[in-house]
Structure 1
Amino acid sequence: MFRTLTSILAFTLFLEFVSFGQKMNSLTPAEQKSGWVLLFDGKTTNGWRGAYSDKFPSHGWVVKNGELRGELSDGAESGDGGDIVTMKKYRNFEMVFDWKLGKGGNSGVKYFIEERQPKPAKGSQAGYEYQLIDDADYIYMDKHLPQDLKTASIYDVVAAQKPDVQLEIWHTSKIVVNKNHLEHWLDGKKVLSVNRTDEAFKKGVADSKFKDYQGFADIPEGRILLQDHGHSVAFRNIKIKEL
């Protein structure tokens, strides 16, 4: 029996390495040498805290099976455990993360989070959001989503160029910020590239819900935020390299 269990465990670990190329929530020696660091170790919430808080939320987020999970509640924006942010601020960086979203789900990864005062009375802190959402079936204001509210877009500002994403499977995303140049990648393909000095970006901000957020078009740095939108979402392999 013991030998059988050992064999099963060994085979499971083998599949993990074969399927993903390396152990979950880890860095290769080459990644470590080039400056990558993990933002999630697969076991704890170290390095994260609640937005506008000095503590990690007591509910709404859990670590399970090597995943950082936002739990299903009522679908309200930042209404359950609340958003979580990195302890550290970032300016120029490359960030990679795996994510999985349930049907009808909505979440996001934001950057340049400043935690301005006063704290928003309702909803999430403003920032540049790599949108994560059920592209095909999420209903917004009684309509299907416009392109700039779909997955991998800079939410409400710049639309990603891609087909609707499949849900309930793992995807890999990448965010690149190099001074004013921004890129969003999805599953190995660049789906958005824009410069913050471009008129298209400025117009996107002017036409968005952030038009009255002073300085939104040129925020210099901020924290990374994982959004609690009351839907089931999971993250793993979250890593970042400063440029």
Structure 2
Amino acid sequence: MRKPFLLGLIAIAFACKEKPKEQLEEVEEEVVEVVTEPETTVLFDGSSFDGWHFYNGGKVTEPWKLEDGAMVLYPPEERPDGANYNLVTDKEYTDFVLTLEWNIAEGGNSGFFWGVVEDEKYGEPYLTGPEIQVLDDERHPDANNGTDRLAGSLYDMVSPSKKAVKPAGEWNSVELMINHKTNEGHVILNGTKIAEFPVQGPEWDELVANSKFADWEGFAAFKTGKIGLQDHGNVVSFRNIKIKEL
């Protein structure tokens, strides 16, 4: 009479051992896909000019200064012939989302670029890099030369669809996306998307052909290049500059 009892205990023990094995096999067959989001890199943290230099030049010095977490350009009234104080990043970028804040003085004009190439035959960043306009729309005369010269425009190529800029002396936040993989570019100014455009192909070529840059040999010719900040002879400030490569 004891054998059936023992056999029952063995059967129960065997079943208990088998069940975890089946569960383990199910877990091992499960595939979990881990998606890694692109990391955001701080290009300017407000404390130094690390990662930046003068276009076709060296270390950043005056007339740029660090003030209250921003880099501020105080252009001199007199400068040597051909001197410019444009800044560019040390690194080059192709597909990215760039965010920054800018503040233009009353009556001021400036801008920022992508796709900038440094070469002695190019004296300024705008000879290669397309520009997003930084402007006092209310006072600077360039605002009267067409809507594609207003703040937030892709300069001389794409006009802002809405007026989202803040007055001179106030901080404006902007996002620029350039993505050659999807052939998309956009500008978001103070939380409002104001411009969308292709970044390559026939439609892009048409934008260039209909601009003042049509016959410029190096303009928009490079998918990969540096981010640039413009010296246009007016006081301008930039801060919180970050980039996320796509």
Paired position in structure 2 for 1:130 = 132
Task: Render the CA deviation track for 1:56-103: whole Å, top value 9, x for unaligned.
Answer: 2x3221111111111144499x96651000000000000100111111
Task: Report what 2:184 is aligned to.
Answer: 181
Report the CA distance between 1:199 and its aligned residue: 5.1
Say if 1:171 and 1:75 are closer, same or farther in 2 by CA, change over 3 A.
farther
Gaps of 5+ in 1: 1-32
1:39 is paired with a residue whose SS is: strand
1:54 to 49, 52, 58: 58
Equivalent position of 1:158 in the other structure: 158
1:167 is aligned to 168
1:30 matched residue in structure 2: none
User: Structure 2 vs 1, CA of residues 86 and 217 (structure 1 numbering), >3 Å: closer, same or farther?
Assistant: closer
Counterpart for residue 209 of structure 1: 212
One-letter amino acid of the counterpart of residue 118, structure 1: K
Q: What TM-score results when the alignment is normalised by the length of structure 1? A: 0.76
- Comparing 123-132 and 185-194, the one that deviates more: 123-132
CA–CA separation in structure 1 for the residues paired with 2:66 and 2:83? 16
Alpha-carbon displacement from aligned partner over 1:85-142 (angstroms, at most 9, x marks no partner): 000000000010011111101010100001244132x7854311111011122114xx
How many residues of Structure 1 are paired with residues of Structure 2 in the alignment?
206
For residues 235 and 82 of structure 2, the distance between their equivalents in structure 1, rounded to whole angstroms, comes to 13
List runs of 5+ in structure 2 lacking aligned partners: 1-36
Identity within the alignment, % = 32
Residues 49-198 of structure 1: pairs in structure 2 closer than 5 A: 49-56=53-60, 58-74=61-77, 82-120=85-123, 124-140=126-142, 144-163=144-163, 165=165, 166-179=167-180, 180-197=183-200
Q: CA RMSD in A?
A: 2.5
- Report the counterpart of residue 23 of structure 1 in structure 2: none
* TM-score, scaled to structure 2: 0.75
What is the distance in 2 between the residues matched to 1:197 and 1:47?
Answer: 28
Counting only pairs closer than 5 Å after superposition, residues 7-22 of structure 1 correspond to structure 2 as: none
Task: Compare CA radii of gyration and give the structure with the larger one.
Answer: 2
Distance 1:75 1:158 in 2: 33
Per the TM alignment, residue 196 of structure 1 is displaced from its structure 2 partner at its CA by 3.1
Q: Could you tell me whether the CA contact under 8 Å between 1:61 and 1:68 is conserved in 2?
A: yes
Do 1:138 and 1:145's aligned partners in 2 also have CA atoms closer than 8 Å? Answer: no
Pick closer, same or farther for the CA change 1:162–1:239 going to 2, 3 Å. Answer: same
CA distance in 2 between partners of 1:62 and 1:199 (Å): 42
For residue 226 of structure 1, report the CA deviation from its aligned partner: 0.5
Return 213-222 or 65-74, whichever deviates more.
213-222
Task: State the alpha-carbon separation in 2 of the partners of residues 198 and 109 from structure 1.
Answer: 23
SS in 1 for 2:226: strand
* Contact in 1 for aligned 2:176/2:185 (Cα 8 Å): yes
Judge conservation of contact 2:164–2:190 (CA < 8 Å) in 1.
no
Instruction: Give the C-alpha shift of residue 159 in structure 1.
Output: 1.3
